[in-house]
Amino acid sequence: MPEPDFVDTWVTLEEGPMLLALVGVWLLTCLLFAGRGRGTVPAGSAAGRLRRMRYGLARGLNWVAKAYGRWVGPVAATVATVASFTFLTTVPSALGTQLRLQAVARTDDYTFAAEKIEADLAAQVVSELYGQIKEEMPPDYQQALTIRLPAQVVRTRQQADRLVVPLKESDPAAARRLAREESRIQQVRDLPDRSVVDAPRGSDPVDIPTDLTAGQAAAAREQAEAKPPDNHAEIINDSGKEILLQLEKVASEPGWSGLQDLVGSRFPLAAPMIDALADACDKQLQEVLRRKVPALVQQLMDKTTDIRSSIAAAAKDIVASVDVPRVVGDHVTDAARLAADRQATLAYLDGLEDRLKRRADIVDGLIRPTDDAEFGRNLNRVLGSSDKPLQTGVVDDLRRTMLNPGSPNRNATIVKHNAAVAIHSLGVRGLPMITKADIRAALPLCGCPRG
């Protein structure tokens, strides 16, 4: 667009400069015509050509002066018209651009605040709902959640390590089951202390109020940025490991899938609660939650209430609309099965620990007795037991100790001697696990009488 003084600067002259220009043209014309009528000069001569040149210049100057006076007005009007059209085109364009930028900034500010409020509200809803689902589960399931299998597995392994014959040789089935539980524990140990599963927001647009001003949107963003984030829901806190669900909204399918995979492989007992939670957070609940967001953002802009309290109250209202017993009812069967499995595993490991401990204690009392009375008591424990696996395990350990070359020191010799005495004594008293070959192998080591 031309500058406002373009016409005045480049097209028209002010009165003073105009007068000087006309005087200049008059003076130059006088000079050029001076001596015009003095005698006749041949046309082809140098003087004739110079006279014609002076005459042409004088006429040219007069033509320029007349043309300027005639056309300066129309030229100025034309330039002004063109300038006005350029101005009318440029100004609305600039105004439109500015308005669009303001609208984008207003939308971005409000969207930022709304999404942060929605994430915090979603975390509150998920936490409240998860707690209610847990309370609604059957008592046996809730009891199973308190069982800490890792401690029981560690105690069982400690007793297994005391055996002379490794558990995988003397009881392969028990060894496999114990190893399976240890593998699960190791999977949990391999997790970081805190695992965060993201629940992505998706592409749902935020509804912008039609009467929202740029100042209000900026205030909402400022308050939202100042508010500490509270968009995590704790799902698992077990064995020193924590699993959090980080929400940008109520979790959608990708968020639940990631959480279900992680929990199902490391904390399978919690899977029914996660499944129930995923069912409860359906599209209907998400719509209810989204309808709460504008009022909360308005409170954030107004700064009239404690936004944390408002979010907590809104979360309770939303959870109250969920039929928790119905949701949990769809997963009670799985919960009961997993609870029974957990109880059975605990009972099995507890029994295995007890059997391995008794076996190790008996063997220690036979091969390292403090006196003859302790040796005799442990013989009677073996003979009087109705636990065939226990008797078999003790005999296996005694046999391995007796036949093991070991180190040629006095203690090893005494241990082998005591094992041989125990084998011979049990065989003589009729323990069916002792073979004739065992007794023949024991005689040279124990010095027992034949019979």
In a domain, 356, yes or no: no
Give the model's pLDDT for residue 99: 43
158 membership: H or E segment, kind and range: helix 149-160
d(CA 244, CA 194) in angstroms, rounded, equals: 7
Q: Which of 74, 101, 128 is the last residue of a domain?
A: 101
Structure tokens at 104: 């984008």
Does residue 212 sit in the same domain as residue 340?
Answer: yes
In a domain, 30, yes or no: yes
In a domain, 187, yes or no: yes
Does residue 213 sit in the same domain as residue 89?
Answer: no
Least reliable range by pLDDT among 53-62, 119-128, 260-269, 414-423: 53-62
Tell me the chain's radius of gyration from C-alpha atoms: 51
Q: Is the Cβ–Cβ distance between 428 and 446 less than 8 Å? A: no
Nearest to 432 by CA among 398, 397, 399, 388: 388
Segment 147-173 shows an average pLDDT of 93
Does residue 267 sit in the same domain as residue 387?
Answer: no
φ, ψ dihedrals at 158, nearest 5°? -60, -40
Containing domain of residue 248, as a range? 117-344
Segment 224-243 shows an average pLDDT of 82
pLDDT digits (tens, 9 = 90+) for 30-80: 766 665 555 555 655 666 666 667 667 766 767 766 666 665 566 666 655
Structure tokens at 203: 């592409």
Using pLDDT thresholds of 50, 70 and 90, give the confidence band for residue 308. Answer: confident
Does residue 187 sit in the same domain as residue 290?
Answer: yes
Does residue 71 sit in the same domain as residue 121?
Answer: no
Give the model's pLDDT for residue 186: 92
Q: Is the Cβ–Cβ distance between 81 and 66 less than 8 Å? A: no
Using pLDDT thresholds of 50, 70 and 90, give the confidence band for residue 346. Answer: very high
In a domain, 76, yes or no: yes
Let me know if 405 is exposed, middle or buried by CB neighbors in 10 A (0-12, 13-18, 19+): exposed
Give the model's pLDDT for residue 25: 59
Residue type, 205: P
Residue 42 has, within 13 A of its CA and on its CB side, a CA count of 3
Q: Of 45-49, 161-165, 289-293, 400-404, where does the model show the most confidence? A: 161-165
Give the model's pLDDT for residue 107: 77
d(CA 211, CA 220) in angstroms, rounded, equals: 14
In a domain, 55, yes or no: yes
Give the percent of the chain with pLDDT over 70. Answer: 72
Least reliable range by pLDDT among 109-123, 237-251, 273-287, 370-384: 237-251
Tally of domains within the chain:
3
Does residue 151 sit in the same domain as residue 65?
Answer: no
Give the model's pLDDT for residue 412: 79
Q: Which of 70, 101, 132 is the last residue of a domain?
A: 101
Token pair 């399976």: residue: 180
- Say whether pTM exceeds 0.75: no
Does residue 162 sit in the same domain as residue 57?
Answer: no
In a domain, 79, yes or no: yes
Token pair 């589960």: residue: 137
φ, ψ dihedrals at 23, nearest 5°? -60, -40
Three-class secondary structure of residue 303 per DSSP: coil
Segment 217-238 shows an average pLDDT of 80
Does residue 234 sit in the same domain as residue 376?
Answer: no
Q: Is the Cβ–Cβ distance between 355 and 171 less than 8 Å? A: no
Does residue 431 sit in the same domain as residue 304?
Answer: no
Using pLDDT thresholds of 50, 70 and 90, give the confidence band for residue 102. Answer: very low
Token pair 């209810």: residue: 288
Does residue 124 sit in the same domain as residue 92?
Answer: no
Pairing of strands 194-199, 241-247: parallel
Q: In three state form, how does the secondary structure of 337-392 look?
A: HHHHHHHHHHHHHHHHHHHHHHHHHHHHHHHCCCCHHHHHHHHHHHHCCCCHHHHH
Q: Which of 38, 70, 101 is the last residue of a domain?
A: 101
Does residue 410 register a pLDDT over 70? no
Nearest to 344 by CA among 183, 185, 181: 181
Taking residue 180's Cβ as centre, other Cβ atoms within 10 Å add up to: 11
Residue 409 DSSP class = S
Nearest to 398 by CA among 432, 450, 353, 438: 438
- Could you tell me which residue, 51 or 371, shows the higher pLDDT? 371
Does residue 1 register a pLDDT over 50? no
Segment 246-268 shows an average pLDDT of 74
Does residue 344 register a pLDDT over 70? yes
Using pLDDT thresholds of 50, 70 and 90, give the confidence band for residue 95. Answer: very low
Does residue 91 sit in the same domain as residue 229?
Answer: no
Residue type, 194: R
In a domain, 311, yes or no: yes
Structure tokens at 242: 């924590």
Instruction: Write out the DSSP string of 38-89.
Output: SS---TTSHHHHHHHHHHHHHHHHHHHHHHHHHHHHHHHHHHHHHHHHHHHH
Q: Is the Cβ–Cβ distance between 439 and 423 less than 8 Å? A: yes
Does residue 192 sit in the same domain as residue 296?
Answer: yes
The per-residue pLDDT of the chain, averaged, comes to 81
In a domain, 361, yes or no: no
Let me know if 418 is exposed, middle or buried by CB neighbors in 10 A (0-12, 13-18, 19+): buried
Q: CA-based angle 163:358:425, to the nearest 5?
A: 85
Nearest to 197 by CA among 154, 164, 246, 242: 246
Conformation bin of residue 340: beta by default, left when phi > 0, alpha when psi is -120 to 50 = alpha
d(CA 398, CA 265) in angstroms, rounded, equals: 41
Using pLDDT thresholds of 50, 70 and 90, give the confidence band for residue 393. Answer: very high
Taking residue 281's Cβ as centre, other Cβ atoms within 10 Å add up to: 26
Exposed e or buried b per residue across 419-443, where buried means at least 16 C-beta atoms within 10 angstroms of its C-beta: bbbbbbbbbeeebebbeeebbebbe
Token pair 């063109």: residue: 82
Using pLDDT thresholds of 50, 70 and 90, give the confidence band for residue 258. Answer: confident
Does residue 417 register a pLDDT over 60? yes
